[in-house]
Homo-oligomer: A and B are copies of this chain.
Amino acid sequence: MKHLLTTTDLKIEEVKEILVDAQYFLDGGTWTPKENIFVANLFFENSTRTKCSFEVAERRLGLDIIPFEVSTSSVSKGESLYDTVKTLEAIGANAVVIRHSKDRYFDELKGISNVSIINAGDGCGHHPTQSLLDLLTIKQEFGSFEGLKVAIIGDIRHSRVARSNADVLVRLGAKVVFSGPEEWFDNELLENGDYENIDTAIQTSDVVMLLRIQHERHEVKGKRTVEEYHKAYGLTEERERQMKPGSIIMHPAPVNRNVEIADSLVECERSRIFKQMQNGVYVRMAVLKKAIEQSEGSDNNVNTNKKWPVAN
């Protein structure tokens, strides 16, 4: 794993290694690279959790960070993502963390050879470190994934999280069901799990994973008001009372309070929402460690690497 692009690309063995490393870091374990490692965080979409989480993870590993703000970069002069990453490579970046609104933006970065690319979310596609932190949170709670029932509820169609999670949870032995407004369903996703009525899903699952209504991406509430959405598909206080003993609530955040979930439940006993965020730091440390270890030994110096022959 030199790049981390999608959870689908990760072998189950790799997923397990990352979770072990993440728990090791959470328990106070340390690791630093053999030499100075430079990393840049390219966030083409707004973010608090993911960006800050990577920033903390990088500092905990002792990496050097090259600050990069899209709005004040040459991207605003029309420079392409490829040329931007290629530039950072030339300047000495060993890894770049990228969030971009375009699905599979990383396909145009195939030519990049000396930089590890860590996907921090691509359009409606993948968000592998979010999946991994969700998995860590579930593992901490239940010890294993085998036989667990996980309900993923809400805006399935536009959710990077739903895709990444459904795929890997099924591979790990869990059962996944989807719920929420039918018009947001995606037949492609249904390969990994059935659609279930909202009340059944909430009452019978070990993990109730709510998705964020992405107001900023599109008009998602359809013809419903926020209150109607909450009543029809949200985790209300009443629905929470029907949850299985020992079951937990998850949400990738930012939470729309009283839309996906009642305000009072965000910090309730079942909620692992802030624990997920905390786990995110350790999962990202593990992912960065893995990427750096794979790259160490390879020479990142353009001048020595390439003979720069000139055609005569």
A283 to B177, CA, bound (A): 56
Q: Does the CB pair A59–B52 fall under 8 Å?
A: no
A270/B310 contact (C-beta < 8 A), A67-B55, A74-B47, A79-B48 known: yes
Q: Which residue of B lies closest to A255 (CB)?
A: B83
Among the listed B26, B49, B70, B312, which residue makes an inter-chain contact with A87, where contact means beta carbons less than 8 Å apart? B49
Q: How many residues of A contact B (CB 8 A)?
A: 71
- Shortest CB-to-CB span from A55 to chain B, Å, is 5
For A271, the closest partner residue in chain B by CB is B308
Q: Is the CB of A72 within 8 A of B47?
A: yes
Q: Tell whether, in the assembled complex, residue A91 and residue B278 are in contact, meaning their CB atoms are under 8 Å apart.
A: yes
Q: Is A264 an interface residue (CB 8 A)?
A: no
For A246, the chain B residues whose CB sits under 8 A away are 310, 312
The reply to whether B91 and A46 contact each other, CB–CB distance below 8 Å, is: no
A248 at interface by CB-CB < 8 Å: yes
Q: How far is the CA of A216 from the CA of B52 in the complex (A)?
A: 30
Are A254 and B77 touching (Cβ within 8 A)?
Answer: yes
CA distance A73 to B71 in the complex (A): 13
